[in-house]
Amino acid sequence: MELTTHLGDQQQFVDGDEIQFLLSLGQDAYIYMYYIDAANNITQILPNENQQSNFYTAGYFLTIPEYENHYRFTISKPFGKESIWVLASDKSIFINQAPESIEDIRQRVKRSSETAYGEYV
């Protein structure tokens, strides 16, 4: 699994920039993607109401958000350290409650995976 942005890796973004994430997979996987803002609030990016299916096959190249979706990731205040976590599993995992932390999510996905698990921060 590899993740980058449409502008490449290790970029610094400024107010008003729009970001698209590009994800490629080396094997079939269920993908879970989370955004952690500067205040440590967690937002689930994938799956979501516009992209409910989160199973992708090896070699698939995923653009997040997809061009036809009605949302964008736009850099805005308040600024601070933010991160994107992508977790991949060989099993579908139903997460029906708000996570307390990214570590909580990470452990749920890892425990539920049978033979394959990966993460990218």
Q: How do residues 100-114 score in pLDDT, each as one tens digit? A: 777 777 777 777 776
What distance in Å separates the CA atoms of residue 70 and residue 107, rounded to the nearest whole number?
31
Residues of the chain with confidence (pLDDT) below 70? 10, 94-99, 114-121
Specify the pTM.
Answer: 0.77
81 close to 38: Cβ distance less than 8 angstroms: yes
Q: Output phi, psi for 45, to 5 deg.
A: -95, -45
CATH architecture observed for domain 2-120: Sandwich (2.60)
Q: What is the mean pLDDT of the chain?
A: 81
DSSP one-letter code for 58: T
Boundaries of every domain in the chain: 2-120
